[in-house]
Structure 1
């Protein structure tokens, strides 16, 4: 961090600057408010150690003016015991902390370490939001369960703890695992993802631990295993519940001993590989059934993160949809499409068994099909619409007296389209123009209404 020591006494400036410098921080000094202001305004000061009373001004006023300007500097006020009330005033003005004179070196360094950690967590939270959003911008979750999950991820990412991520398919376990890696000190080293269920059982040991030349038929050269490839980085074991028992035993030994022995080799090799595992299965139940080792389960679940399904955090659905649409428009250099209220109502009430992955697929499909700058009901997959649409013929009276809201909206849409066609004498092109939708969208709507058993205009 870059630290600015602000004090009118030269001896105190020198002592504090030397202490801060020995701790590995870069340091600068200022003897009064004027000089401090000229250095703070550059915006590169992470922490300011600021005396409260100075010849040309007051430290509290300095805090107040620069906090109001929006600079991201943490102020630690240095005060005499008799000025405690002023220190409290400084905290209210925006100071982060205060230290009472005479300053003890260990206390000062502890306060600086706390601020450094706070700054790191702030950056990690920002990185997490970007990663969960797929590195395409920042998505701010609304659901309390997801903001709580974000906090857990930011806490564990800066450690070397083994992490177990659970959740249904499509909830974002892989994205979360990658964000843990990217926010850690290992981010400059490899992130190696592997689907444990996709590797043939007879190749598991070779894939995980590597092999020497001639270790088996076809091993014409030595090969590094996944643990060695991810050395100093992170190995993401997706679908960990698919590992057979004998490999679970070997995996446990590697986690505990931090050594791997290539197939056919005699010498074990030290590895510094962090393990992040994920599964959509209930490992605790598998332990009871005898299909998953209890000791490995406890080792993996040292830190457990559960990602809730999308149906349990509906606050995020509409915002996720708009977020996906914005990214699609950005990638295609096109205008962001609008979402028809009826379509949005249907999507918001859908159970999303495939979670976020299914939502992205549905919106991608709708984006391709949509005409006229708007996604409508007819642009959604039939299996979503079919669950909510009645097969009864449409009539104006029916709309008002029967069916749920989504059913009524759909029938109302059909009624409006049929009336427009009737008013236009069956001319679909003119009707589409009057309805402000594309002609292809109109044809799709009519085909869908017919497939659902709705009454259609005889041409």
Structure 2
């Protein structure tokens, strides 16, 4: 963290700064209120260790003035004259903590560590609540490729290795990155996701590294960059292939040197950030084409995890469907809807160009449209039913003058007929394959016979 030591005694400043620097913190000093104000206004100080009584002002008043300015600095007050009244006044002004001279290095470092943990937990709080609301259970993959992917995640998560996650859009690269963070020793500190393709090119440097007040037109106050926000945690760089070459160079330097300099600022700050990057593009090909730095590619791909598309792991589709339905039910405090076996078969056979994200959207839509306690063919988007019908049932003609209900009835009849053929005419076995009761199969066969007679 970036710590500002404010004390009018040079010896004390030097002793405290030395202890903090050895502990890995970025340290700046100020000899009084005026000098401290000039450094605090930049907005990049995490903790200010502030003497109360100084020749040019009072530390408590300094805290009070900056508490109303919107900066996110935590103040720890220091004094040689301890009293309950002074402590209460400092805390009411907005100080986080209070220490009495002489300060032992062990105690100081412990207090700073506590403040760092508190800041990390505060930054994570909202994101964690959203994650818990979204992930109401633990999903277990059935495909070998994803079980292996989970094994790789568990292995690399406990290290500090940079990770590159690749895969098509919608496969779950962001979820994988968050899982790496949650399983890592950094889990108590911030997980900061950023879509590299969504930031205008002229704002990239400011967003990544922060800026000082007045660094450019409109910079009316200092701002912390993403690296500083993610200090001691994880920075997730989604769509890393969208970064322009000049930013790739700067990113590489930060990853290697672990230092950032805000735009328009003079103070270099050390940061401890783990990088997880993701892309749906072929970075190796981009390197050959000169559109991505080779050294950055090898630095990011120190540990590579590829997520296969949903169409290549059909074993996971039915599990995902029921997982989403369970979460939807939990969110509404209701019993999970059932899924008609024929509708499930269609969903499993669909190609899912949008992968897991598209599947979730389709199930959410069907959950809204469903009448009663079961999702049927009628609740699925027509294009999904038609695409599977064309591929698996070429004998059923798609006619423009035939309504959707009739086309779906024909498709259902074809699936039942195929199940009977596969079961050698054994209706009990066919019902098991279709995952419906034997009485339901007899009823459907009667309906099919009535429709054929009609």
Shorter-chain TM-score category? 0.5 to 0.7
8 A contact 1:388–1:407 mirrored in 2: no
> For 1:295 and 1:240, how far apart are their aligned partners in 2?
14
How has the CA–CA distance of structure 1 residues 139 and 200 changed in structure 2, closer, same or farther, with 3 Å as cutoff? same
Deviations 1:251-289 (A, max 9, x none): 000001000011011221110011000000000000011
Alpha-carbon contact 2:362-2:381 (below 8 Å) kept: yes
Call closer, same or farther: CA 1:215–1:230 in 2, change over 3 Å: same
CA root-mean-square deviation: 2.9
Q: Distance in 1 between matches of 2:319 and 2:222?
A: 50
Separation in 1 of the partners of 2:231 and 2:312?
A: 37
Instruction: Say which SS state the counterpart of residue 388 (structure 2) adopts.
Output: coil
User: 2-side partners of 1:202 and 1:173: how far apart?
Assistant: 27
Equivalent pair of 1:132/1:172 in contact (CA under 8 Å): no
1:133 deviates by 11
- 2:325 alignment partner in structure 1: 325
Q: 1:160 to 1:339 in 2, by over 3 A?
A: same
Residue equivalent to 2:247: 247
Q: Which residue of structure 2 aligns with residue 218 of structure 1?
A: 218
Q: Which residue number corresponds to residue 159 of structure 1?
A: 159
Structure 1 counterpart of 2:398: 391
1:224-263 equivalences in 2 (<5 Å): 224-263=224-263
CA–CA distance in structure 1, aligned partners of residues 417 and 143 of structure 2: 32
Are 2:136 and 2:330, in contact at CA under 8 Å, matched by a contact in 1? Answer: no
TM-superposed deviation, 1:407: 7.7
Q: Which residue is equivalent to 1:381? A: 381
Query: For the Cα contact (< 8 Å) 2:350–2:388, is it kept in 1?
Result: no
Q: C-alpha separation between the residues in 2 aligned to 1:240 and 1:257?
A: 19
- Answering whether residue 310 of structure 2 is matched by residue 304 of structure 1, we say no
Q: Give the corresponding residue for 2:114.
A: none
Q: Is the 1:343–1:377 Cα contact (8 Å) retained in structure 2?
A: yes
Q: Distance in 2 between matches of 1:346 and 1:407?
A: 13
Displacement after TM superposition at 1:386 (Å): 2.2
- Scaled by the length of structure 2, what TM-score is found? 0.58
Return the alpha-carbon distance in structure 1 between the equivalents of residues 151 and 300 of structure 2: 20
Structure 2 unaligned regions, length at least 5 = 1-130, 390-396, 419-439, 442-450
* Aligned counterpart, 1:282: 282
8 Å CA contact 2:135–2:327 kept in 1: the answer is no
1:207 & 1:251 partners in 2: Cα distance? 12
Task: Kindly indicate whether the alpha-carbon contact (under 8 Å) linking 1:194 and 1:236 is maintained by their aligned counterparts in 2.
Answer: yes
How far 1:211 sits from its partner (Å)? 0.6
Q: Post-superposition shift, 1:410? A: 9.2
Within the alignment, does 1:363 sit opposite 2:358 as a pair?
no
- When residues 222 and 376 of structure 1 are mapped into structure 2, their CA distance, relative to the original with a 3 A threshold, is same
Shift of 1:372: 2.3
Shift of 1:134: 5.2
Map Cα deviations across residues 93-136 of structure 1 (whole Å, 9 max, x no partner): xxxxxxxxxxxxxxxxxxxxxxxxxxxxxxxxxxxxxx899532
Q: Secondary structure at the match of 1:153?
A: helix
Contact 1:165 1:304 in 2 (8 A): yes
- Are 2:414 and 1:408 aligned? yes
Secondary structure of 1:236's partner?
Answer: strand
Q: Within 1, Cα distance between the matches of 2:236 and 2:324?
A: 26
Instruction: Return the offset for 1:323.
Output: 1.1
Within-5 A mapping of 1:82-101: none
Does the 8 Å CA contact 1:338/1:374 hold for their aligned counterparts?
Answer: yes
Q: Deviations over 1:11-57 (max 9, x none)?
A: xxxxxxxxxxxxxxxxxxxxxxxxxxxxxxxxxxxxxxxxxxxxxxx
**Secondary structure at 1:235's aligned position in 2?**
strand
How far off its partner does 1:406 sit?
Answer: 6.5
For the residues of structure 2 that align with 1:369 and 1:134, how far apart are their CA atoms?
A: 21
- Mapping 1:115-134, distance limit 5 Å: none
User: How far, CA to CA, are the matches of 2:229 and 2:412 in structure 1?
Assistant: 52
Structure 1 position 335, deviation (Å): 2.0
